[in-house]
Chain A
């Protein structure tokens, strides 16, 4: 067994246990923390695949921003210290259905792959050209410029909406009188 395989197996085991605990832990904050562990595992997987840019972005966006947002939201909306509310909503069967569909889809994709045991393709040694190619493809009219711009417009709309919701009404106590 090579060192890389040891790393892969350890990371995979940690991720499996972590994702099990995300859905079973009683405290919401703990679930968020386990989620962060799983995301760190994903970043480690990307490092194993020599995709350092994606690994760093995974940490930056998912651990640095999204999970902090989740924990922040939990802290602000629930009583963090003694939070052990019900673990399932009345709509749990919808979530189960969606998960089953997703699992089915993933299995169908995996079944069409030639072999699960193919070794990963060798990456070109020059990572910088790969990165610059990724950057170019986002602004190339023949490649991904449309989805990229659509995503930016969506984010802009979300930001404007958030500002509109958070804006205090004029004259209301606590609001800035402009």
Chain B
């Protein structure tokens, strides 16, 4: 048991705790169990407590700048303590259960939603030796945990005994289930390129970042992740001007707080996932020797993607539900299928014919993107001509969706 070393701080910390517990005379399997439990508690504490509050502050500050405001600036320097005040307010608010609500389900729903987000962090490789569980089916695990979140949102809408909440839940489920399909398809691309579904191995095989090998796949993953977290421009599950507040309208106090925290956390989580799957995760100069540097790279990359998500949120209008469906089913899903086929074929061809891997995959992706743009262009022109000949000024749903995208 060496002490804390700078080369592998996380591994030696784990060894230290293990040695300490074994020294207390606990049997080995119990020690493993306690170690995992401890890791989970620390992870949840760090992400929920520290992470979420900082994230919400960042989002409020950055979002305010996008809208030419100052954002929180009264409580503490740069308003950094504003969220602590808000958290205290949320906790002390009255916790109301609406009459006629399905009480158990009503209380269960926010927990499921938070669980689905925090669960994603279990397979997140923060640094070379820092990961909750290196599952060999990590990518599938990510998808399956997403389904639990959908369930939570649906239960929230259903148990509230409120028409608006039910409408919001219906919209949410339609959207989440739809966007899971291009996302699942596109997740096959990093799996194929890395030859593994484990997140650790996906990061380790990114000597060139996968965003260079599969830019189209990365873009589809990013768009469908933004839809999965239900943010603008895909925030029609809580469209204030249409259905008041959607599935969480009846929630108050900390139960609403849980929904809110999980939304912000989910946004950062999908940023981190994009970084892990397509931007090389913790990889960077010197990351192998100094894991802390790897953690820093991971946070910088995730932060960059998170910034783009905030940018998206504060600068794009909400899409209509038919536009959202058209975007998903007529655009993203076929394109995702094409990307999977093209990547598989080009990768095998490059392997067997000895072509250089990166240029051939990149070239195939550029060709695919150009082809898609040409198809979209001709489609939009056809829609426009039809609209002109029928004398209706509105563009059709797909043309509008494409313009919105």
Contacts and interface: CB of A to CB of B under 8 A. Distances in A.
A binds B: yes
Given A29-B158, A52-B135, A59 B151 contact: no
B30 interface: yes
Contact of B173 (A60, A72, A128): A72
A52 to B, nearest CB: 6
Contacts of B145: 59
Interface of A is mostly: helix
Q: Which interface residue of A4, A60, A71 has the most chain B CB atoms within 10 A?
A: A60
A57 to B, nearest CB: 7
B29 A68 contact: no
Contacts of A63: 144, 147-148, 151
Contacts of B135: 52, 56
Nearest to A130: B136
Given A3-B30, A75-B158, A56 B140 contact: yes
B224 to A, nearest CB: 15
Contact of B146 (A29, A64, A71): A64
A127 B201 CA distance: 14
Q: How large is the interface on A (under 10, 10 to 19, 20 to 34, 35 or more residues)?
A: 20 to 34
Given A64-B147, A65-B147, A52 B136 contact: yes
Interface residues on chain B, size class: 20 to 34
B143 interface: yes
Interface in B173-211: 173, 177, 180, 196
B173 A57 contact: no
B143 A64 contact: yes
Given A30-B105, A56-B137, A57-B140, 18 more contacts: A29-B102, A29-B105, A29-B158, A52-B137, A57-B144, A59-B145, A59-B147, A60-B140, A60-B143, A64-B143, A64-B148, A65-B177, A67-B151, A68-B147, A68-B151, A75-B158, A75-B166, A81-B161
Interface of A: 2-4, 27, 29-30, 33, 36, 52-53, 56-57, 59-60, 63-65, 67-68, 71-72, 75, 80-81, 127-128, 131
